[in-house]
Structure 1
């Protein structure tokens, strides 16, 4: 019984640690110039259509240098770009 309880506590501790690491990674900035469509859709205000437009724009026009450059993507205005400024890297 003591062994089962120890295993259960270890499993719980590992689960909490894994969850904390996953949450920390979720808040890490996303490299807008290399991110997949799945990663881009994790950004606030960016759905599948805008994520695809970001990828198409960077393929056609080269990398983004700043959040302001994102306004060259159809559907992304200055407000969205400002909201993303601390969530992305270049």
Structure 2
């Protein structure tokens, strides 16, 4: 009986040591990968120099038609005096301007 008990205890100890050694080896060979963090870069779009593609790509709610309308307005009326003048472009409303106000500039 004593022999069976000692065999069981020895088996349990060896199994525990084996699992511990395996865990240590795994942590040594596979370094933890840092979490990928993407930082959004703030893009500023100049209403007086941006082409239609840039306007469409960088501004929320501005598709190809509205981007072309902005460029056409600029060509017809000259450079924008302020960001708020964008409201004069057909199809651009307060909501669209508010979504993009931080990205827009004029010079």
- Residue 51 of structure 1 pairs with residue 89 of structure 2: no
For residues 55 and 63 of structure 1, the distance between their equivalents in structure 2, rounded to whole angstroms, comes to 10
User: When the two structures are aligned, how many residues end up with a matched partner?
Assistant: 69
Correspondence 1:47-86 to 2 at 5 A: 47-86=63-102
* Residue matched to 1:40: 55
Q: Do the aligned residues in 2 keep the contact of 1:40 with 1:51 (CA within 8 Å)?
A: yes
- Residue 30 of structure 1 pairs with residue 30 of structure 2: no
State the superposition RMSD in angstroms.
1.8
Query: What are the ranges of 5 or more consecutive residues in structure 1 without an aligned counterpart?
Result: 1-18
TM-score (norm 1): 0.68
Query: What are the ranges of 5 or more consecutive residues in structure 2 without an aligned counterpart?
Result: 1-37
TM-score (norm 2): 0.58
Q: Which structure has the greater CA radius of gyration?
A: 2
